[in-house]
Amino acid sequence: MSVWRQLKHGLRVLTDRRASDQAITSEAEDFIERTTGEFIDRGLSPEEARRAARLECGSAFSIRDEVRGHGWENAVEALIADLRYASRRLWAAPGFTALTVFTLALGIGATTAIFSAVKPILIEPLPYPKASRIVTIWGTRQDGGRNEVAFGTVNEISQKTRSFVSHAAIREWQPTMTSEGEPERFQGQRVSAGYFQTLGVSPAIGQDFRKEDDLGNSPHVALLSDALWHRRFGGAAAVIGSSVTLDGQPYTVIGVLPARFENVTSPDAEIWAPLQYDMSQGGRVWGHHLRLVARLRDGVRIDQASGELNALWPVFLKEHPKDLFNDGLAVLSLQDALTSGVRPALNVIMVSVLLVLLIACVNVTHLLLARSSRRRGEFAVRTALGAGRARMIRQLLTESLVLAALGGVLGILFAEAGVRTLVALSPPALPRAGSIAIDGSVLAFSVVVTMLVGFAFGLFPAFQAGRQLQAGLTQHSRSVAGDHRRIRSALVVAEVSFAFVLLVSAGLLLRSMERLIEISPGLHTANLLTMQVQTSGQRFRDATVNNAFFDHVLEAARQVPGVISAAFTSQLPVSGDSDAYGVSLESNPDQKDVEIRPAFRYAVSPSYFQTTGIPLLRGRMLDEKDRAGGPLVAVVSDSLARHRFRGAEAIGKRVRIGPINGPQYTIVGIVGDIKQLSLLDAEPDAIYTTPTQWRFPDNVMTLVVSAQGDAARLSPALRRTIWSVDKDQPIVRVATMDQLLARSMAERRFVMILVTAFATVALLLAAAGVYGVLSGGVAERIREIGVRSALGATSGSILGLVLWKGVTLTLLGTVIGIIAAAAGTRALTTLLFGVSHLDLVTYAGMCLLLLAVSAAACWVPAWRASRVDPVITLRSE
């Protein structure tokens, strides 16, 4: 009520100041007239009465001024006046304003962009109800690695544990939908019926999977993503209950997930179907190929769940065959499991961007200090006219805030562009990249940063200015300026040392990248084109049909002009494929304890080694005679031969791949190691068989073609060729081997590009700082320089004097920077490869770069100082 009245009155005054002034004045005049009348009544003449009244009451104007000073609207008016004045002052110094705003915008923009990118990954909970209760369960290996789990384990967990309310196993699934047009392959997932319930999501239309849907012989049902529903089915509700053909089999669509649903376990998945495991079938039940998510029961902690699982582990082991190579189980929060891979990289990026923001702030403080020292005259005059110190500090703060606000607005624009660039650059492994966007809270973050920066750099010069006022009117006082210069020099030193840390980080990352590129993946990548071909449909369950199709395709592909050789492989190096089996030796048949260790398993056409250039070290390659029905043979990698046979000859030995009761393969050859997972991969154990000698048909194979000249050129012709064999088979993931290699380095490259960009910005800002402090110094000392040159100093010696000043500042900053970098780059170690975080070459190189750039920045003011004409300077004093 009272607040409302206050507001109403204040607003009335604000909107019509003249009317309200008029009202007060006439009321005051009325008061004075009545006082005058009273005096006349007492017998004074009108003239005397008026004077007496004036004496007693004061003038109507002074009364008005007293009355109008009250009320909140006056504070607003003062603020508006301050803002108007600040804008005028800033407009009058366009160079200063532009530089400050730009520097701030750079800092704020970069910080906001990075914060936008990092927030959904590291800070926000996953987009599910009570997301912190969702965990993922992994198998742990003796060597500390993580494994996926087997369905047998999932089954055991669901029957014997109490820690989880619900859980679901997930398997990647790439079904092909066939209809009239070209076949389309979708990214999808086969999941336990409780998957969406575990995440806490239910379909927007239709219904969720039921428990019965997950049984081995149930009819096929599928759920669609909102995007797929709109893309392929026009968003019509009639889709529910309709039938689609996936891999040659009919599936009934039973529901569509909400548009907001984000599937973090596989961001590209668009279609889901139940796992439908049949426990009685055995076989794949014990393959380690399932991911497991679960929701913790209320009140159960992650470590308790983990404890329960591992206590039960020996019981699980009793229940199933011994071919598990998991050592135990680990429970991790889903969020941590998703982000742990990128966390170190993102932390480095966040720290780098904060350093840039810090440097930007230091630079702005710099600019403001230099400006306030140029404005001493103005402040002196304002003090003389009666401005209070608090009033003046307020004025300066307003100016800072205006700058910060401008910088903030421009910064948001920069951030907008930055976020777009980030998403474009982001490596495929970045989780939740789809939800990176500037949102309300990020905007708020940006504004808060702006405000903090505004106050931080606003207060400092304001107090400086406050202190100067005493000395202000004595224009020739140099002591204050000297004080300033010391502070500004310290700021430059700080700035240079921050920049050095960033430069060293960027340098180390660049050198790691260089080392990484030098690593050979183990095959000739040049002119290799790869594409994944999948056979889809019931008839390809038959190994003969399946293998015949791939044989035909291979035959046809070899006829394509430009193709030197072609081969199929069940998995492609450095492509993200990871298909490993336990390999058990039978070097010693009596030995009861069979040693099982995982190795990558490849089914390859005999021409694979020749096509990819993987060298044969000993023995023989696979050849066309190694077909179904013939003696089972395998080729192993050099590392497998050496690690597993410990110096003994591997050729001629027999091994099992997968089940311990499976058939034995005789090793006939040893080939060079390759990098399967990535260039950094330390697991080169590999075993190769021909597709026909493998125990089940691989429906997904990758065609590798070695071409004359540019391999990418061949892709349309090869596509046509494959479809000429069978038009219903989808072709995906077409890429040259070089592209795959580049992709496997994408995350490092991403970090490297960002840190290098930040380091460049930091270097430029630091150079601007050095330049600023030196040119300011020259301007303040122009008289001294004039005197020096009048007394016979050569222009060379003055040049040296100024240069030396700049170089000492840089050197000091560099020394501090070296110490900071040596300590700080430890955080980089996980991102470095083949180079120590104390790499001498990098440090030395960056020192030189920094010195060179700062010397260049010093040169202009130094040169200007050397050209000072003593006659002109001394005359102007």
Partner 1 sequence: MDSPNTDLIQGTLDMLILKALSLGAMHGFGVARRIEQVSRGVFKVNPGSLLTAFQRLERAGLIDSEWDDTDNSRRAKFYKLTRSGRKQLEVETTDWMRRASAVARLLKDEG
The residues in 428-457 that bind partner 1, with binding defined as CB under 8 A, are none
Look up residue 179 and give its two tokens.
């209809």
Q: Write the burial class of residue 517 (CB in 10 Å: 0-12 exposed, 13-18 middle, 19+ buried).
A: exposed
Q: Which stretch binds partner 1 (CB under 8 A): 5-13, 129-137, 256-264, 604-612?
A: 5-13
| H or E element that contains 176 | strand 176-177
Closest approach, Cβ 434 to partner 1, in A, equals 54
Closest approach, Cβ 47 to partner 1, in A, equals 19
Closest approach, Cβ 225 to partner 1, in A, equals 59
Cα–Cα distance for residue pair 243/221, rounded to 1 Å = 9
Find where tokens 């029957």 sit.
Answer: 159
Q: Which stretch binds partner 1 (CB under 8 A): 1-9, 172-180, 351-359, 453-461?
A: 1-9
CB 860: neighbour CB atoms within 10 A? 14
Tell me the pairing of strands 580-585 and 654-657. Answer: antiparallel
| Closer Cβ to partner 1, 64 or 171, answer by number | 64
Closest approach, Cβ 32 to partner 1, in A, equals 8
The residues in 500-529 that bind partner 1, with binding defined as CB under 8 A, are none
**Beta bridge mates, 701:** 533
The residues in 54-113 that bind partner 1, with binding defined as CB under 8 A, are 56-58, 62-63, 66-67, 70-71
Nearest Cα to 664, choosing from 675, 655, 672, 674?
655
CB 732 within 8 A of CB 819: no
Closest approach, Cβ 2 to partner 1, in A, equals 6
| Closer Cβ to partner 1, 66 or 319, answer by number | 66
Q: Which stretch binds partner 1 (CB under 8 A): 20-28, 365-373, 606-614, 656-664?
A: 20-28
Q: Please enumerate in sequence order all residues whose Cβ is within 8 A of that of 697, keeping only pairs 6 or more positions apart, or say none.
A: 535, 540, 541, 542, 543, 546, 547, 691
Closest approach, Cβ 48 to partner 1, in A, equals 15
Q: Which of 16, 33, 623, 869 binds partner 1 (CB under 8 A)?
A: 33
Cα–Cα distance for residue pair 431/345, rounded to 1 Å = 13
CB 510 within 8 A of CB 752: yes
Cα–Cα distance for residue pair 142/326, rounded to 1 Å = 8
Closest approach, Cβ 51 to partner 1, in A, equals 15
- DSSP string covering 443-456: HHHHHHHHHHHHHH
| Closer Cβ to partner 1, 50 or 220, answer by number | 50
Cα–Cα distance for residue pair 373/377, rounded to 1 Å = 9
Closest approach, Cβ 77 to partner 1, in A, equals 15
CB 734 within 8 A of CB 531: yes
Phi, psi of 165, deg, nearest 5: -75, -45
| H or E element that contains 294 | strand 291-296
260 lies in the site for partner 1, by CB under 8 A: no
Closest approach, Cβ 75 to partner 1, in A, equals 15
| Closer Cβ to partner 1, 24 or 705, answer by number | 24
Q: Binding-site residue total for partner 1 (CB under 8 A)?
A: 24
CA within 13 Å, CB half, 391: 11
Cα–Cα distance for residue pair 702/605, rounded to 1 Å = 11
Query: Site mask, partner 1, residues 37-56, x = CB under 8 A?
Result: -------------------x
Q: Which amino acid would we find at residue 644? A: R
CB 215: neighbour CB atoms within 10 A? 13
Look up residue 304 and give its two tokens.
């308790």
Closest approach, Cβ 30 to partner 1, in A, equals 5
Cα–Cα distance for residue pair 401/409, rounded to 1 Å = 12
Closest approach, Cβ 767 to partner 1, in A, equals 57
Q: Which of 16, 17, 22, 27 binds partner 1 (CB under 8 A)?
A: 27
Closest approach, Cβ 196 to partner 1, in A, equals 58
Cα–Cα distance for residue pair 231/461, rounded to 1 Å = 59
Cα–Cα distance for residue pair 343/850, rounded to 1 Å = 30
Query: Site mask, partner 1, residues 802-841, x = CB under 8 A?
Result: ----------------------------------------
Q: Which stretch binds partner 1 (CB under 8 A): 30-38, 186-194, 631-639, 797-805?
A: 30-38
Closest approach, Cβ 36 to partner 1, in A, equals 11
Q: Which of 11, 17, 22, 34 binds partner 1 (CB under 8 A)?
A: 34
| Closer Cβ to partner 1, 35 or 678, answer by number | 35
| Closer Cβ to partner 1, 63 or 705, answer by number | 63
23 lies in the site for partner 1, by CB under 8 A: yes
24 lies in the site for partner 1, by CB under 8 A: yes
Q: Please enumerate in sequence order all residues whose Cβ is within 8 A of that of 145, keeping only pairs 6 or more positions apart, or say none.
A: none
Closest approach, Cβ 82 to partner 1, in A, equals 24
Closest approach, Cβ 34 to partner 1, in A, equals 4
The residues in 296-315 that bind partner 1, with binding defined as CB under 8 A, are none
Instruction: Kindly give the residue spans of alpha helices, DSSP state H, lying in 16-71.
Output: 17-41, 46-57, 60-68
Coil, helix or strand at residue 193: coil
| Closer Cβ to partner 1, 30 or 143, answer by number | 30
Q: Which of 16, 17, 22, 30 binds partner 1 (CB under 8 A)?
A: 30
| Closer Cβ to partner 1, 63 or 113, answer by number | 63
| Closer Cβ to partner 1, 72 or 696, answer by number | 72
| Closer Cβ to partner 1, 5 or 162, answer by number | 5
Q: Which amino acid would we find at residue 31? A: F
| Closer Cβ to partner 1, 2 or 280, answer by number | 2
| Closer Cβ to partner 1, 1 or 92, answer by number | 1
Cα–Cα distance for residue pair 641/635, rounded to 1 Å = 10
Coil, helix or strand at residue 23: helix
Q: Which of 2, 159, 281, 559 binds partner 1 (CB under 8 A)?
A: 2
| Closer Cβ to partner 1, 30 or 586, answer by number | 30
Long-range pairs of 716-725 with CB within 8 A, sequence gap ≥ 24: 717/560, 717/561, 717/562, 718/529, 718/531, 718/557, 718/560, 718/563, 719/531, 721/553, 721/556, 721/557, 721/559, 721/560, 722/533, 722/553, 722/556, 722/557, 724/556, 725/549, 725/552, 725/553, 725/556
Q: Which of 5, 88, 162, 646 binds partner 1 (CB under 8 A)?
A: 5
Closest approach, Cβ 27 to partner 1, in A, equals 5
| Closer Cβ to partner 1, 36 or 174, answer by number | 36
| Closer Cβ to partner 1, 56 or 143, answer by number | 56
Nearest Cα to 226, choosing from 188, 184, 270?
270
Nearest Cα to 199, choosing from 148, 132, 137?
132
| Closer Cβ to partner 1, 70 or 260, answer by number | 70
**What CA–CA distances, in Å, run from 855 to 129, 295, 334, 498?**
57, 60, 51, 18
Closest approach, Cβ 74 to partner 1, in A, equals 12
Give the rounded distance of the alpha carbon of 399 from its chain centre.
Answer: 34
| Closer Cβ to partner 1, 20 or 676, answer by number | 20
Find where tokens 């889809």 sit.
Answer: 536
Cα–Cα distance for residue pair 696/659, rounded to 1 Å = 13
Cα–Cα distance for residue pair 256/232, rounded to 1 Å = 12
| Closer Cβ to partner 1, 50 or 654, answer by number | 50
Closest approach, Cβ 19 to partner 1, in A, equals 13
Long-range pairs of 236-239 with CB within 8 A, sequence gap ≥ 24: 237/205
Q: By the criterion CB under 8 A, which residues form the site for partner 1? A: 1-2, 5-6, 9, 23-24, 27-28, 30-35, 56-58, 62-63, 66-67, 70-71
